[in-house]
Amino acid sequence: MSFDSECIFCKIVAGEIGSMPVYEDANTLAFMDINPVVYGHTLIIPKQHWQNLYEVPDDQLAEVSATAKRVATAISKALVPDGVSFVQANGKGAAQSVLHFHVHIIPRTLGDDLKINWKLNPGNPDQIRSAAQRIVRELQ
């Protein structure tokens, strides 16, 4: 199993640092965020160390996604929020705070004023088309 001795999430998986787990299976762990943005803020991680989305093997990503769905469903029933946001960041520019792939499940309430929402502003069609063409080239 991939392990980074300097990674706080790896230390949690290894039992070196305590956490408040809510779900665990053979390959994933869900635990409460100790710096919650709102009540019920939960993290989902693969037990193996993968720094970001680009490194996580597809099968591990699928397992994290399945756990995230399971935990989000439980949060929805237990805490009855108005909605739930999944947040996943990669790299410093996206404010990834721990370099171990993880998904935040954030219960939302109407008017909570969290800044992860954005206004819908029409984009420039030429710029949108250009970005799409560049992405398609990379996918071929």
Residue 117: which pLDDT band, with cuts at 50, 70 and 90?
low
Q: What is the CA radius of gyration of the chain?
A: 17
Type of residue numbered 30? A
Q: Model confidence over 41-52: pLDDT tens digits?
A: 999 999 999 999
Order of strands, edge to edge, in the sheet holding 28-32?
21-24, 28-32, 42-46, 103-108, 83-87
- Of residues 123 and 110, more confidence is placed in 110
Distance, CA of 41 to CA of 112 (rounded, Å): 13
Specify the residue for token string 């693969």. 46
Q: In the annotation, is 49 catalytic?
A: no
Q: Which of 41, 49, 102, 104 is catalytic?
A: 102
Full set of structural domains in the chain with CATH? 8-139 (3.30.428.10)
3-state secondary structure of 101: coil
Is the model's pLDDT at 6 over the cut of 90? yes
pLDDT of residue 118: 66
- The stretch 6-20 carries a mean pLDDT of 96
